């Protein structure tokens, strides 16, 4: 039993490091967006490319999607209408930027809660309505955060 509880703890720590815990690899997702203004978040390297604000809502959506798969929940309860990529205005307000960040943080807490509540014996089993195991989905959620944290770091440097 102790080994299974350790597995859940390790997976929670993995998603937390990718999101907001100090880690050896550098900035995590939350760190990459810390202290950004709405103007910085709305900036695009060129027409047709994603802004940091769009990446943030995209990441929130995929935390929601993974949580849904882990729990077997139905679709349709994400805070923003649509799926995957959510266009954000070029004149994004500070209020809307804060709401995007709040949505991301809320979805992280909800994902973390779902992982904590998993039966450790199911980690290597296929999740409902998914071709992937529970553990694979959770690891992928962490990798997704880090991938986009790197993109955000590049976008911030391009603005300088």
Please give the angle made by the CA atoms of 135, 78 and 124, to the nearest 5 degrees: 10
Whether residue 149 is predicted with pLDDT greater than 90 in this model: the reply is: yes
For residue 88, give the CATH number of its domain. Answer: 1.20.120.450
Query: What's the pLDDT at 152?
Result: 98
Domain housing 100: 2-159
The residue ranking higher by pLDDT, 75 or 7, is 7
Number of folded domains in the chain? 1
Query: What's the pLDDT at 72?
Result: 86
pLDDT digits (tens, 9 = 90+) for 104-135: 999 999 999 999 999 999 999 999 888 999 99
Query: What's the pLDDT at 128?
Result: 87
pLDDT digits (tens, 9 = 90+) for 47-91: 999 999 999 999 999 999 999 999 988 888 898 998 899 999 999
């Amino acid at each position: 039993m102790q080994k299974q509880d350790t597995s859940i703890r390790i997976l929670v720590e993995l998603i937390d490091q990718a999101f907001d815990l100090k880690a050896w690899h550098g900035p995590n997702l939350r760190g990459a967006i810390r202290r950004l203004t709405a103007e910085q978040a709305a900036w695009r390297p060129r027409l047709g490319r994603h802004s940091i604000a769009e990446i943030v809502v995209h990441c929130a959506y995929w935390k929601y999607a993974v949580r849904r798969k882990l729990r077997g929940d139905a679709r349709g309860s994400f805070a923003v209408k649509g799926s995957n990529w959510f266009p954000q205005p070029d004149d994004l307000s500070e209020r809307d930027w804060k709401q995007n960040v709040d949505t991301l943080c809320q979805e992280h807490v909800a994902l973390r809660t779902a992982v904590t509540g998993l039966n450790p014996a199911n980690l290597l089993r296929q999740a409902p309505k998914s071709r992937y195991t529970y553990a694979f989905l959770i690891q992928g959620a962490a990798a997704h955060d880090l991938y986009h944290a790197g993109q955000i770091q590049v976008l911030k440097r391009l603005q300088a």
